[in-house]
Structure 1
Amino acid sequence: MEASAVPKSLWRQSNFLKLWIGQAVSSFGSTITALALPLTAVVILRATPDQMGLLRAALSLPALLSLFFGVWVDHVRRRTLLILADTGRMLLLGSIPLIAWLGLLRIEYLYVIGLLVGVLTLLFDLSITSFLPSLILREQLVDGNSKTQQSDALISIVGPGAAGALIGLLTAPIAIVVDAISYLASVISLLLIRTSEVELKERPAQRSVWLEIGEGIQALWGTPILRDLTILSGLGSLFLSMQQTIFVLFVVRELKLTAFQLGLIFSTSGIAGLLGTLMVGRIVQRKGPGSTILLGQSLTALGTMLIALAGGSLSLILVLLIGGQALFSLGAPFYGIPQLSLRQAMTPTHLLGRVNASRRFLVFGIIPLGALISGLLGDRLGLRATLLISGIGMILALFWVFFSSIRHAREFPQTSEA
């Protein structure tokens, strides 16, 4: 980690810059797949709500492996794991356009690819969250996380529009090749990073993996603010996964929007996301992380409800969808950046992998349940009714903040590395 009396700007730290560039390119590619994969299922394979629920579940089911992966991440060089994960995702996603070109694409193949990509994404996300604190100072974590999300927000402005155009030009499955290429760029950037990671403790062969998992859970659950944030995130994940599972189906089948219009919705709402990442640092400094998280959860809940209400004329549909996505995108950094920075600042480096994994197990592990519930409700109650239930759930989750330690968090505590 680069250290000095007065920390250099992150833009002048070469290792951070390499990581940031690689992740920005990869993030652009991922916006293509985020739109192209569900459109492949809906438009090309004529997927039902139940099948969309299964696809969403396949992508998120690997979260249940988080606890075991967390132990691995705490005892293996994180950069090595990042390279392995990106290489695997490049090969898996690159196979989709090939299979489609051969005329062999089936929904079951998407389930398998989704599951395997989900496993590698889990490994990557746990590793990079634990890797960043080895590149920059802890007091720069909010800035580092903000810069990463700022680039993601910029990409969310241009990416979906580009995705819609590419899908219209190439078809959805063929457009995914762009994402495969972007993972290659990420691998190259990671290979160029030169840093000495904190020496990781080798796990004794006779030591129980369950004991190590327990240490991560205890570090997370034994810290009130981290425990309360995990509960809030779990509630949000359950209801948000219900919305995301059938969103494309709702927009394409019921609202009759095109891939280009769908990309436009995501692109315009990305401006709000960029604004959020630019504002979050100052809001955290003035109000503290707790109040910022409360604001973020409020905006995302309101945005989710507006999306469920979309209907009427095309102009009204676009206003409600863009407005809902904009509120959600604006609120997401207010919630995500402070809670991530709290977790990174309060957790010793040698426990970061397991703490992040424990949180991911509890928060992301509930997504498959939400996806399956969404598919079942979508078939039986209708897509709009399911979206309304999701929006109401997001609003109810907001009340947890008032009964927890979250709103009292006014600064970022430091922790011992012992």
Structure 2
Amino acid sequence: MASPSSEQVDDPRPGLLHDSEFLKLWVGQSLSQIGAQVTFLAVPLAAVLVLHASAAEMGVLSALVRLPMVGFLLFGVLVDRVRKRPVLIWSDIGRAAVLLLIPLLYFADMLTMAVIYVVVFVLGVLSVLFQVAYRTYIPHLVPREHLADGNSKLQMSESVAQALGPGLVGGLIKVVSAPVLIIIDIVTYLISAVACWLIRTPEERPAPDDDVRSVYKAVWEGYQWVMRQPLVRPLAIGTAFYSFFIMGAMQSIFVLYLLKGGPNLDAAWVGVITATGGAGAILGAGLAIRVTKRLGIGPTLLWSTVIGNCALFLVPLAVRPVGLAVAMLAVSQFVVWACNQIFIVNNLTLVQSVTPMPMIGRILATIFSLGLIPAPLGALGAGLLGEWLGLRTAIFIAILVGALVPILALARSPIPKLKEIPDPVS
């Protein structure tokens, strides 16, 4: 197996920092990620504070956010058959248009949970399409030897956004209503669309294939490929459990738990806690390459999972007084997101490196779908379980399963022994 040279690992940044085409994508995504993080927090706050949503309604809302993830498999095949840049542009424009409905209807005093349900579902469909095209487009735009650095920079942008977005919400929520804050996201999506439009790197048109049967065949081939690969299969399985129990179940009632079901914090503290997670994510994205160089890609994947997942248990253990609860939640978010970013950079780099280029869209989509399709069911289950057993108990059960299974999946695989980035496999 081959690995990048020490020069490429130590300091690949000058190549990408002088690559104007990559910079266009990076700058556009950096801004749109900030807006997306604002919406990620502003929508549930609008549901709870403006529309007084119940735990069950929050479960439905979270499920609808994640339900479009079912489309990952189909979108992966379709993206492999078209140019990626136009998909990015029109997805951004569509997301800006649909989000505009929330502030408009709020000003007209016509905003309801039904409207928010529709908006988040359509937004989710367009976001899934964008994510598949985005991750598939990077290997076309960035040389293979710079993939890890490109992924690290893009994850750094998401990390900075995770810190700035909730911080904006926490700072503005006392003077600006949550639905109005979504305008920030609308503007950043439009900026991202313009940035993608300015990219001029040639992109070959894939061979056309309109046979519907071949679409389903391609989806199945992608799934089989993932399940056959000993380096990819445990990542997909672990991500599926994490998605169902953490991203789906726990996250769907997390805001409600903080506000009303556990520590009973003010809305401003929710923004502070989430922003602390963003600070951890910035650190993790910045350290990802250095940690990987020191430990190797396999041990890095394992230990980032172990440490990050164990830190989740601080969430249901957080108790008043407010200062103690905020400290425990902030530490949890910081560690979890630092480890998540280290894991994501290495996960993407490993999968992009071992996957044959003609299959990369469907392979990434298969992994995303295995990781994200279970989330809506987890969200619905958490909402019902929260009303039945209480929010704290529901969150503890979700973390117990969602944190431990991924650790076992990685520990029992060949991944911990993998030191170098491998070559593509057939």
- Which piece of structure 1 moves more, 220-229 or 155-164? 155-164
Q: Report whether the alignment pairs 1:414 with 2:423.
A: yes
Alpha-carbon distance between aligned partners in 2 of 1:309 and 1:401, rounded to the nearest angstrom: 26
Alpha-carbon distance between aligned partners in 2 of 1:277 and 1:204, rounded to the nearest angstrom: 40
* Aligned partners of 2:152 and 2:289 also within 8 Å: yes
1:284 to 283, 287, 292: 292
* Aligned partners of 2:166 and 2:271 also within 8 Å: yes
Q: Which residue of 1 aligns with 2:142?
A: 136
* Aligned partners of 1:83 and 1:190 also within 8 Å: yes
Q: Report whether the alignment pairs 1:38 with 2:44.
A: yes
* Aligned partners of 2:93 and 2:190 also within 8 Å: yes
Alpha-carbon distance between aligned partners in 2 of 1:385 and 1:186, rounded to the nearest angstrom: 40
**CA separation of 1:168/1:217 partners in 2, compared to 1, >3 Å: closer, same or farther?**
same
Alpha-carbon distance between aligned partners in 1 of 2:116 and 2:212, rounded to the nearest angstrom: 39
Alpha-carbon distance between aligned partners in 2 of 1:153 and 1:209, rounded to the nearest angstrom: 35
Alpha-carbon distance between aligned partners in 1 of 2:396 and 2:64, rounded to the nearest angstrom: 24
How far apart are 1:326 and its partner, in Å?
0.8
Alpha-carbon distance between aligned partners in 2 of 1:152 and 1:66, rounded to the nearest angstrom: 20
One-letter amino acid of the structure 2 residue matched with residue 405 of structure 1: P
Q: Secondary structure at the match of 2:231?
A: helix
* Aligned partners of 1:127 and 1:353 also within 8 Å: yes
How far apart are 1:247 and its partner, in Å?
0.6
1:24-57 alpha-carbon deviations (Å, 9 max, x no partner): 0001101111110000111111111111111111
One-letter amino acid of the structure 1 residue matched with residue 424 of structure 2: T
The within-5 A match list for 1:179-190 is 179-190=185-196
Q: Which residue of 2 aligns with 1:19?
A: 25
1:149-174 alpha-carbon deviations (Å, 9 max, x no partner): 11222232222111122322220111
One-letter amino acid of the structure 2 residue matched with residue 402 of structure 1: A
Q: Which residue of 2 aligns with 1:75?
A: 81
2:65 to 46, 59, 67: 59
How far apart are 1:408 and its partner, in Å?
2.4
How far apart are 1:194 and its partner, in Å?
0.7
For normalisation by structure 2, the TM-score amounts to 0.93
* Aligned partners of 2:313 and 2:399 also within 8 Å: yes
The within-5 A match list for 1:301-316 is 301-316=309-324
Q: Report whether the alignment pairs 1:234 with 2:240.
A: yes
Alpha-carbon distance between aligned partners in 1 of 2:296 and 2:73, rounded to the nearest angstrom: 30
Q: Secondary structure at the match of 1:232?
A: helix
Alpha-carbon distance between aligned partners in 2 of 1:54 and 1:388, rounded to the nearest angstrom: 20
Alpha-carbon distance between aligned partners in 2 of 1:194 and 1:219, rounded to the nearest angstrom: 33
Alpha-carbon distance between aligned partners in 2 of 1:40 and 1:68, rounded to the nearest angstrom: 32
The within-5 A match list for 1:188-199 is 188-199=194-205
Q: Which residue of 1 aligns with 2:384?
A: 376
- Which piece of structure 1 moves more, 274-283 or 150-159? 150-159
Q: Which residue of 2 aligns with 1:353?
A: 361
Percent identical: 36
1:285-308 alpha-carbon deviations (Å, 9 max, x no partner): 222221111111112212211011
Q: Report whether the alignment pairs 1:402 with 2:408.
A: no
Q: Which residue of 1 aligns with 2:327?
A: 319
2:373 to 362, 365, 378: 365
**Count of residue correspondences:** 413
One-letter amino acid of the structure 2 residue matched with residue 410 of structure 1: K
1:222 to 228, 232, 249: 228
One-letter amino acid of the structure 1 residue matched with residue 415 of structure 2: I
2:251 to 244, 257, 267: 244
Q: Which residue of 1 aligns with 2:341?
A: 333
Q: Which residue of 2 aligns with 1:111?
A: 117
- Which piece of structure 1 moves more, 203-212 or 348-357? 203-212
One-letter amino acid of the structure 2 residue matched with residue 201 of structure 1: A
Where in structure 2 are there 5+ consecutive unaligned residues? 1-6
